[in-house]
Amino acid sequence: MWKDMEECQNKLSLIGTETLTDSNAQLSLLIMQVKCLTAELSQWQKKTPETIPLTEDVLITLGKEEFQKLRQDLEMVLSTKESKNEKLKEDLEREQRWLDEQQQIMESLNVLHSELKNKVETFSESRIFNELKTKMLNIKEYKEKLLSTLGEFLEDHFPLPDRSVKKKKKNIQESSVNLITLHEMLEILINRLFDVPHDPYVKISDSFWPPYVELLLRNGIALRHPEDPTRIRLEAFHQ
């Protein structure tokens, strides 16, 4: 109301002297409106507000308002909790994906570890096999060297009984029996011992020169059969 009265006053101030002389009716109307608004404003200023009685209807109305307000608050809290739950759900899904990725990585690492372990074991087995193969070759070479040295030693120091005579007298008639060297005798005994270990005895044939047989028996290199003196065997030095 006060605002309307101010607008009327502004209109009156804007109207000049010439307008008043021309339209007295309009001026009178504006003056009446100002008076009415002033009187109504004065009445509102003198009037005191009435207190609302706390009746049952009022309390029910107020209770409904409080309930409505409480409901709105609860709905707001529920909406906030749902938003938090949604965020927690997203976080849980993200952590689950991260856990799945870590498990896949762990499985891949376990597979790689197993492969590397097998490679290491294979490498170790192959290395051991190569080392054993090298040792066997070395032993074989050493054995051949020993046999060669033994053959040379026996040929030089234990020749056949008629070899020197044959060199001097080439026209002497050879014996009907071909004697074998001590080296050949030892080879026969050794091969028999390793090829037939359950029966290592060898029959003394006419090609065995008796002095060499006696030499082997006296020095413990060979042994006679306990029941058959015509059979001898090599002493098992390797056992």
Residue 7 lies in a domain: no
| pLDDT exceeds cutoff 90 at 68 | no
Residue 119 lies in a domain: yes
Instruction: Report, as an integer, the average pLDDT of 175-199.
Output: 85
Residue type at 175?
Answer: S
Cβ partners under 8 Å of residue 53, min gap 6: none
Choose between 188 and 20: higher pLDDT: 188
Domain residues for the domain of 118 are: 62-123
Residue 14 lies in a domain: no
Number of domains forming the structure of the chain: 2
Residue 94 lies in a domain: yes
Mean pLDDT of the chain: 79
How far apart are the C-alpha atoms of 182 and 232, rounded to whole Å? Answer: 14
CA distances in angstroms from 68 to 13, 47, 134, listed in the order given? 51, 33, 97
Global pTM exceeds 0.85: no
Looking at 76, 106, 123, the residue that finishes a domain is 123
Residue 232 lies in a domain: yes
Binned at pLDDT 50, 70 and 90, residue 227 comes out as very high
Looking at 123, 139, 169, the residue that finishes a domain is 123
| pLDDT exceeds cutoff 70 at 86 | yes
In tens, the pLDDT along 125-149 reads: 777 888 888 999 999 898 888 888 8
Residue 56 lies in a domain: no
Residue 114 lies in a domain: yes
How far apart are the C-alpha atoms of 36 and 30, rounded to whole Å? Answer: 10
Looking at 98, 123, 148, the residue that finishes a domain is 123
Residue 225 lies in a domain: yes
In tens, the pLDDT along 15-49 reads: 654 444 556 667 777 778 778 887 777 777 776 66
Binned at pLDDT 50, 70 and 90, residue 201 comes out as very high
> Cβ-count burial of 200 within 10 angstroms (0-12 exposed, 13-18 middle, 19+ buried)?
buried
